[in-house]
Chains A and B, each alone.
Chain A
Amino acid sequence: MNVGVLALQGDFREHKLMLERLGCSVQEVRLPKHLEGLSGVIFPGGESTTIGKLMVAYQMDAALKKFAASGGAIWGTCAGAILLATDIVDSNQPRLGLLEMRIRRNAFGRQVDSFEVPLEVAGLVAPFHTVFIRAPVIESVGEGVEVLSSFEGRIVVARKDRIMASSFHPELTNDSRLHQLFLEKVIGS
């Protein structure tokens, strides 16, 4: 399966390694031409304001909206999730608005408040060891958006059709089950 990883900034290499372990051929996506032939793209963690600006600079924003409109699947982790949102609390930074949700940046505090915790995720049998780093939370979701996991009552994984968002970083663990879920259930849907 040909899958892309948005490689403008952030920990895209970790996602790439995880996908390669699962047998994918992985394309680093920096310019619109890199989207050709891909069935899905992962947006990595990183700095959402930086990635957003780099997206706009070389028309990646329009290209990714077109990619989604023509059936491409997208999964955003942490900063990547912020880029997918329709509504970002207290910010006018660039976003794609592909998943109807209101998201809050740095919702748990500064870096000293970053944490790890095992968490249940719908569709996975055993808990997933999650890593939250200056992580956002999804404060509310629109109609038809499915909530796959929450922590202390706050939404941390959501999905609608071929778009998925997670607050934490599965790519920083050795657990590839969420990547597998993205490949089989989201791209494969």
Chain B
Amino acid sequence: MHPVITTVLQRLALGLLTLFVVSLIIFSSIEFLPGDFGEAILGQAALPETVAAFRKELGLDLPLHERYLEWVGGVITGDLGNSFSGRGSSGGADRSRPVIDLIAPRLGNTLFLAGMAAIIAVPLALFLGITAALYRGSIYDRVVNALTLTTISFPEFFVAYILILFFSSFFKVFPSLANIDPSADFWERVYLSALPAITLTLVIVAHMMRMTRAAIINLMASPYIEMADLKGVSKSKIIIYHALPNAWAPIVNVIAFNLAYLVVGVVVVEVVFVYPGVGQLMVDAVTTRDVPVVQACALIFAITYIMLNLFADIISIITNPRLLHPR
């Protein structure tokens, strides 16, 4: 079998194992949270009888392992279960929404924002990293480094508020509310999501840019680059044709890491811009102990990490002839 396929299969198997462990961790950590759905949803107005009625209907009175097996069984057959919220009224009819209906639109929004931020951030970071390596030690290199390090050093919400101040209050270029509508067309979405996407870009560019720069500079000291230099190849050609192909592995790993962050870690940005993403959904679900939603979100996040890492590994193999054609 081709080594790429073997690696993919190995990684997928490992990924499944990881998912299993993650599911155990999620399930048990939710158990440790104080209170349950009934208490959370009724708040100060909770009466023992009403809480018990909730618990009975949601099956929360069953033992832990039974609930876990039921959930895992559902997930394997593609059923993420039903959200606790909107569970039947006194009529007893179950009119709750399936978790998938709850998550799908939110996940779509999150992926849209992540994609938009990635389309701006990844090429920008690569360009800045390569040019910084090219003009290493120059004023340009220092300015780029200082700027990107500044933006990564500020907390996200601060960057967000500064952007709102300049682009929504002083100059009304973009709206400060990015609560996109499901019916909005593509360009309207882009317009509404502009500020959150720029915020995310500013936050992630530094990491990728510095890794690109470091990886290339690291290679610049190797003998084959020296050889190319001695042959009289121009500096930019050396970097693009000789250094970059060998530098892809670390760069792609950092890019994958940042893309995963864009999907799973942007709840602060979502809150500031009131962006209806999956992070906000998960926080809401945790505070109200809507367990099926929390579990589904956590699983999706875990899958995102595993898939992006797998993707990074495949790219490193393909770009590295020694790994692609092992002896």
Verify that A and B bind, or say they do not: no
Q: Which residues of B contact A (CB under 8 A)?
A: none
